Amino acid sequence: MVQDFKKFLLRGNVVDLAVGVVMGVAFGAVITGLVKDLLMPVVAALVGKPDFSALSFTLHGSKFAYGDFLNALVAFLMIGAAVYFFIVLPINTLVARSRRDPPPDPTIRKCPECLSSIPVGARRCAFCTATLPPGNG
């Protein structure tokens, strides 16, 4: 039974998941620090307060502390913006650059009948034997 448990723990997907969770927690700390230390001071400069937790109102003796909700909402929006603009957008740009199609080969053309790639100078398609117009037809 201990041997089976050891096999389970050392399976690739369990180890990969553990590494993913640890890296996710570390990454979350980095993004939280970015928002708290760099982006929230910008909000404080624009609005005048970095912390909205003191904001509240009272209605029929009940206190509504909407400032805490505003803090959570601003933090959520700032974290989402930080992740999008600092991670998702640059990675999507890099992936799009790497996936560009190579320029077309000038020595090859498509057969109009079967759409196979054939040499530009061919007069008959090797795949469907269709007679082809000369040149880049």
**Number of domain units in the chain:** 2
Give the pLDDT confidence score for residue 70 in this predicted structure.
Answer: 84
Same-domain check for residues 82 and 136: no
Same-domain check for residues 22 and 68: yes
pLDDT at 136 over 70: no
Same-domain check for residues 35 and 83: yes
Residue 25 to residue 4: CA distance in whole angstroms: 29
Same-domain check for residues 30 and 61: yes
* 3 state DSSP class of 50: coil
Residue 32 to residue 127: CA distance in whole angstroms: 60
**Start-end of H helices in the chain:** 2-9, 12-34, 40-47, 66-83, 89-98
pLDDT at 129 over 50: yes
Domain of 80, in residue numbers: 2-98
Give the pLDDT confidence score for residue 114 in this predicted structure.
Answer: 92
Same-domain check for residues 56 and 108: no
Give the pLDDT confidence score for residue 14 in this predicted structure.
Answer: 74
Instruction: Name the more confident of 101 and 94.
Output: 94
Q: Which two tokens stand for residue 18?
A: 């553990």
Q: pLDDT tens digits, residue range 7-48?
A: 777 776 777 788 889 888 998 888 888 887 887 788 778 877
Same-domain check for residues 90 and 117: no
Same-domain check for residues 54 and 8: yes
Give the pLDDT confidence score for residue 89 in this predicted structure.
Answer: 92
Give the pLDDT confidence score for residue 137 in this predicted structure.
Answer: 43
Complete DSSP assignment for 4-26: HHHHHHTSHHHHHHHHHHHHHHH
Same-domain check for residues 85 and 115: no
Give the pLDDT confidence score for residue 135 in this predicted structure.
Answer: 66
Q: pLDDT tens digits, residue range 55-100?
A: 888 888 888 888 888 888 888 888 888 888 888 899 999 888 888 7
Same-domain check for residues 11 and 42: yes
Same-domain check for residues 91 and 117: no
Same-domain check for residues 6 and 64: yes
